[in-house]
Amino acid sequence: MPSSAPPPRPIRWGILGCARITRRGLAPGILASESGTLHALASRDGETATAWAGEFGAARAYGDYRAVLDDPEVDAVYIPLPNELHRPWVLAAAEAGKHVLCEKPLALDAREAAEMVDHCRSRGVLLMEAFMWRHQPRTAELLGLVRSGGLGTLRLVRSSFSFPIDPGDWRLDPARGGGALWDVGCYGVNTCRLFAGAEPVAVRAMQRPHPSGVELTLTAELAFPGGVIGLVDCSFEAPFRCEYELVGTSGSIRVPDAYLPPARPTALRFAADGGPDADVEGAGPESLSFDGADQYARMVDAFARAVSSGSLDLPAEDGLAQMRALDLIRSSALVVGG
Question: Which residues are catalytic, by number?
Answer: 104
Q: Give the other-Cβ count within 10 Å of 287's Cβ.
A: 9
Beta-bridge partners for 41: 15, 61
CB 94 within 8 A of CB 166: no
Residue type, 56: F
d(CA 36, CA 198): 31
Percentages helix, strand, coil for the chain (3-state, rounded to 5) are 35, 25, 35
CB 222 within 8 A of CB 230: yes
Which residues fall within 8 angstroms of residue 275, CB to CB, at 6 or more apart? none
d(CA 267, CA 138): 9
d(CA 2, CA 299): 10
